[in-house]
Amino acid sequence: MEEKIEKLNSYDWKVRDLFIEDKIETLNKMFQNHGGYFYVAQKKALRDTLLSIIKGKRSLVYTNIRAEYEDLVKKLELETIIKLEKGSVADAKKELFDVDVGILEPDAIAAESGSIVLFDFDGTKSFVAFLPEIFIAVAEESAIFDTVPEALGNLIKKYSKMPATIQIVNGPSRTGDIENKIVRPSHGPKDAYLFLVK
Amino acid sequence: MSYKQVHKKILKALKKEDLRKGSEAATKDELKKRKYAIATHKYSLDWAEDVKNAKSTMLFDVVSSVEKFRKAFEGKNKYFYFARTPQDLKNIIAEIIKPGSTVVKSKSMVGEEIELRQFMESHGIKIYETDLGEFLIQLANEKPAHMVTPAVNMSEERARQLLEPVVGEKLNDVTSMVLGVRKFMRKIFFSADFGMVGANALSADTGSVIFITNEGNGALTSTLPDKLIVITSVEKIYPTLLDAIKAVTTQAIFSGFEYTTYVHIINGPYDFYGPKEIHLILLDNGRIRNDDLKETLLCIKCGACQFACPVFQVVDGAWGYIYTAAIGIPWTAITNSKETARSLAAFCLECGKCREVCPMKIDIPELIRKIKAEEV
Ligand code: SF4
C-alpha cells in the first residue's frame, strides 16, 4: 500500500500548458455550464442563501462539514436533520429514500472542469452527494485546484491512502436519451449548488 | 448474419422516412457537439495521444497486463475472475447471483456483446437496465443503435408507448417520462441485491475501476446494493490511474459530452455504507489472440466514427450487429463472427471519414478492407 502511494506521489499530475488565469471565474462559468449554481458567499451571508434554497423543504442530511458550518446547518428550520455517520445501513437507506437536501464539504474543487471531488472512505459522502434532490457543496477557497488530476495528486498526498471511491461530480444529473432532449434530474439530484466561502 | 440478411435489414431501414430524418438530425448535432468539445479543451488532442501510447504499451502484452491489474485489484472482499469466453462469464455470473435476485445494471457494451441481460433473465434473475436509453432498448427488446446513446433512433412517441405501461401513469412529454422512470426505478435501486456496472477504464497501478455516467444511475447502482459486480474486457487496462483518467476524459470529449456529470473511481468496498464486496469479471472473447485486427483494441468506444459515417447517418443502427457502423465491423469480427463482419463490410463506402475523427487514429478503413478481402 505504502509503495503504491509512493509511486502515485511520483506522477506528474499537472496538466502541462494549462494556465488558468482566474480560477474562480472559470469555476463559475464551468459549474453553470453543467447546469449547477455557483455562489461566492461571505460567511455571514451563507445562512441566508441556504435558507432561501431550503425553503419549503422537509429533510436534510449532512456529512463531513467543519464545526462552524455544522452549527449553522443544525439551526436551519427543517423537520428532519440527519448527520450521516456510522450507523445502521438499513436505517440510513430508509431515511434517505426521499431526503430533500444533502450538504457536505468537498475534498477538492477543480476549476478547469467545474468539478466537485470527493474522497470517500466509508460511503457517507457518496450517499449525501447522490441521494438527495438538492445537493449542496460548501467549499473553502483553499480547496480549489486547476484540474481534476492536480486535485487528485494533492489529495493522495494529503491522505496517504486511497479511499474506497473517488467521486467527481459535474453538476446535477441529466439525461438526453430521448430525442436528445436534456432533462434534469435523472436518477441523481435535480439541483447542484457549489458555495465558495470567503 | 449473411450478406442477404444484412441487405434486408438495411433496405428496411431505408424505407423508414422518420428514422432517416431523425438519424440525420441527430448525427449532425452530435458532430457539432464533438467539434466544440475538442476546440474548448486545448489539451484534448495531446491527451488522446497519451492515451493511445499508454494503451499501446498494455496491448503489446495483454496477458501480463491482465496479471498486473489482477494483482493490484485483488484484496479483502474483492474478487477477480477471468472469462475467456462469453459462456465462462455467464457461468461465473450464475455462480454469484442466485435466481430470484434483483440486479440494477448500468450500461455496459460488454454486457450487450454477449447478450448478458437475456441470459440473466433466462436464469431467473430480475434485471433492470437503469440507463434510460438502455431501459428503452430492454423494454423494446431491441439492440442498441449506438455505443454511447443506445436509443438515439427512438422517437418520443415510441418511448411513451414503452414507458407508460411500466410506470403506470400518463406521460405527456419527455420530462414526465424521465421523472416517471426516476420514481419507478428508485424503489428498485433501494431494494436491489446486486449492482452491476461496466468499466470505461481500469488502472494497473491502483487496481481501480473507472466509469462515467450522466444520469446518476451508475452512482446509485454502485452505492446502494450490498454487492457490486463489474463486467469489463481486457483492453480497458491502462498502466496508471492518471492514464485511465485521461482515457475517460478523452472518451467524453470525443463523444461530444465534453463532461459527463459523474466520474466514479472505485478502489475497493466501503468501510461502511455502500457495497461490501466487489466482483470483477474480465472478458477476453477473442481479443487477446487477435493479431490481425489488434489495432481495434485501441478503440475507446467514443462513438465518433459511428456518427461520422455516411452509411450510419442514413440507416443508423441497422448497419451492424451490436457494434454498429465503422469500427463496429472489426469489433464484430473479433467478438462475434467473421462471417457477419464480412457481410457488414460489403456496405462500407471506403470514404475514410471514420479515420479522420478517431481520437486513437485507428486506420478503420484498412481494418474493414482486410475483413472484406478475407485476409483475416
Ligand atoms: S474507433 Fe475511434 S472514433 Fe470509433 S469509437 Fe473507437 S475510438 Fe471512437
Interface check A165 vs B, CB under 8 A: yes
Task: For A16, name the nearest residue in chain B, comparing CA atoms only.
Answer: B43
Residue B52: count other Cβ atoms within 10 Å of its Cβ.
18
Kindly give the distance from the C-alpha atom of residue B302 to the centroid of ligand 1, in angstroms, as a whole number. 5
Nearest to B266 by CA among B214, B336, B326, B195: B195
- Residues in A closer than 8 angstroms to B219, CB to CB, are 126, 129-130, 167, 173, 187-188
Amino acid at B47: W
pLDDT of residue B16: 79
Residue range B44-283 in CATH 3.40.50.10420: yes
Exposure string over B69-94, b if 16+ CB within 10 A, otherwise e: bbebbeeeebebbbbeebebbbebbe
The interface pTM score, or ipTM, of the predicted complex is 0.96
Task: For A13, name the nearest residue in chain B, comparing CA atoms only.
Answer: B242
Q: What percent of chain A has pLDDT over 70?
A: 99
Beta strands in chain B (DSSP E): 78-83, 102-105, 126-129, 194-198, 201-203, 208-213, 227-233, 237-238, 262-266, 277-283, 320-321, 323-324
Q: Which of A65-69, A124-128, B255-259 has the highest average model confidence (pLDDT)?
A: A124-128
pTM, 2 dp? 0.95
Residue with cell 471519414: B353
Q: Report the alpha-carbon distance of residue B236 to residue B204 in Å, rounded.
A: 10
Kindly give the distance from the C-alpha atom of residue B354 to the centroid of ligand 1, in angstroms, as a whole number. 8
Interface check A28 vs B, CB under 8 A: no
Which residues have any ligand 1 atom within 6 Å of their CB? Answer: B 299-305, 326-327, 357-360, 362, 364
CATH of domain B3-40+290-372: 1.10.1060
Taking an 8 Å cut-off on Cβ atoms, the answer to whether B136 and A178 are in contact is yes
Residues of chain B with pLDDT under 50: none
Taking an 8 Å cut-off on Cβ atoms, the answer to whether A122 and B272 are in contact is yes
pLDDT of residue B251: 95
Q: What are the residues facing A137 on neighbouring strands? A: A104, A194
Residue nearest to atom 3 of ligand 1 (CA): B358
Amino acid at B177: M
Q: Which atom of ligand 1 is nearest to the CA of B255?
A: 8
Kindly give the distance from the C-alpha atom of residue B299 to the centroid of ligand 1, in angstroms, as a whole number. 5
Taking an 8 Å cut-off on Cβ atoms, the answer to whether A7 and B29 are in contact is no
Q: Report the alpha-carbon distance of residue B354 to residue B365 in Å, rounded.
A: 8
Q: Where are the domains of chain A?
A: 18-197
Q: Where are the domains of chain B?
A: 3-40+290-372, 44-283
pLDDT of residue B32: 86
pLDDT band at A117 (very low <50, low <70, confident <90, very high): very high
> Residue A134 has what DSSP assignment?
E
pLDDT of residue B15: 85
- For B124-139, the pLDDT digits (tens) are 999 999 999 999 999 9
Residue in B133, B189, B265 closest to A165 by CB: B265
**Kindly report the CA angle at B218 between B217 and B219, in degrees rounded to 5?**
90
Fold topology of A18-197:
Rossmann fold (3.40.50)
Distance between alpha carbon A171 and the CA centroid of its chain, in Å?
9
Interface check A97 vs B, CB under 8 A: yes
Interface check A122 vs B, CB under 8 A: yes
Q: Please state the rounded mean pLDDT for residues A136-157.
A: 96
Residues 48-87 of A with CB under 8 A from B: 84, 86
Q: Please state the rounded mean pLDDT for residues A165-180.
A: 92
Taking an 8 Å cut-off on Cβ atoms, the answer to whether B216 and A130 are in contact is yes
Question: Which residues fall within 8 angstroms of residue B150, CB to CB, at 6 or more apart?
Answer: A177, B107, B131, B133, B134, B136, B137, B144
Q: What percent of chain A has pLDDT over 90?
A: 76
pLDDT of residue A86: 83
- For A7-21, the pLDDT digits (tens) are 999 999 988 767 788
Kindly give the distance from the C-alpha atom of residue B93 to the centroid of ligand 1, in angstroms, as a whole number. 29
Residue nearest to atom 7 of ligand 1 (CA): B299
Q: What are the helix and strand counts (H, E) for chain A?
A: 7, 10
